[in-house]
């Protein structure tokens, strides 16, 4: 089995289930984690699933991933649209990155249309709800060298 894939979640994603259900649905982050663990098992991948509300902690985890992970799936939450620090950390890390969003950020407010993460990601999955995480795992699986 390759080194684990870090599945990193940014601010307010701990509130999934009750947060704006019209936008994000009613699935909790714990349910998404369970589905990710099950799907990763089918792909013969190990995952390390984490959430934080703190930008610097995401930077620390990305730096950790560059040492011990085979790739990164990241939903940076609102930091997607603001964080040069995440951009720089992901770029420096040199690991394959897949960006995921529950909602279709391009169908929402204009301030969500720009991502600092997309230029340093292999690709972006946006708008498929929790299923997007499973699509992201399939994408990262293909990007990890044998
Ligand atoms: C999000 C989209 C972001 O614009 C927002 O700030 C989030 C969640 C999503 O998964 O759709 O917190 O990343």
CA dihedral for 37, 67, 135, 42, sign (positive or negative)? negative
Alpha helices per DSSP H over the chain = 21-24, 29-42, 55-68, 84-93, 131-143
Query: Which residue's CA is minimally distant from atom 12 of ligand 1?
Result: 77
Q: Where are the domains of the chain?
A: 5-143
The verdict on the CB of residue 112 being under 6 Å from ligand 1 is: yes
Instruction: Tell me the per-residue pLDDT of 24-80, one tens digit each, with 9 for 90 and over.
Output: 999 999 999 999 999 999 999 999 999 999 999 999 999 999 999 999 999 999 999
133 catalytically annotated: no
- Percent pLDDT > 70 in the chain is 100
* Active site annotation includes 24: yes
Q: What is the CATH number of domain 5-143?
A: 3.40.50.9100
Whether 52 is in the pocket of ligand 1, judged by its Cβ within 6 Å, is no
Whether the model clears a pTM of 0.85, i.e. scores above it, the answer is yes
Q: Please state, in angstroms and as integers, the Cα–Cα distance from residue 2 to each residue in 41, 89, 96, 125, 143, following that order.
A: 12, 22, 13, 23, 12
């Amino acid at each position: 089995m390759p080194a684990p894939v870090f599945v990193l979640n940014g601010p307010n994603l701990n509130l999934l289930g009750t947060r704006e259900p019209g936008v994000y649905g009613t699935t909790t982050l714990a349910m998404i984690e369970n589905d990710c663990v099950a799907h990763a098992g089918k792909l013969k991948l190990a995952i390390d699933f984490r959430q934080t509300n703190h930008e610097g902690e995401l930077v620390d985890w990305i730096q950790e991933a560059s040492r011990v992970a085979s790739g990164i799936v990241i939903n940076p939450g609102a930091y997607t649209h603001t964080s040069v620090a995440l951009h720089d950390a992901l770029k420096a890390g040199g690991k394959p990155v897949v960006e995921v969003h529950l909602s279709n950020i391009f169908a929402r407010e204009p301030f969500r249309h720009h991502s600092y993460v997309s230029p340093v990601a292999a690709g972006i999955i946006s708008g498929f709800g929790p299923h997007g995480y499973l699509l992201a795992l399939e994408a990262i699986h293909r990007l990890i060298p044998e």
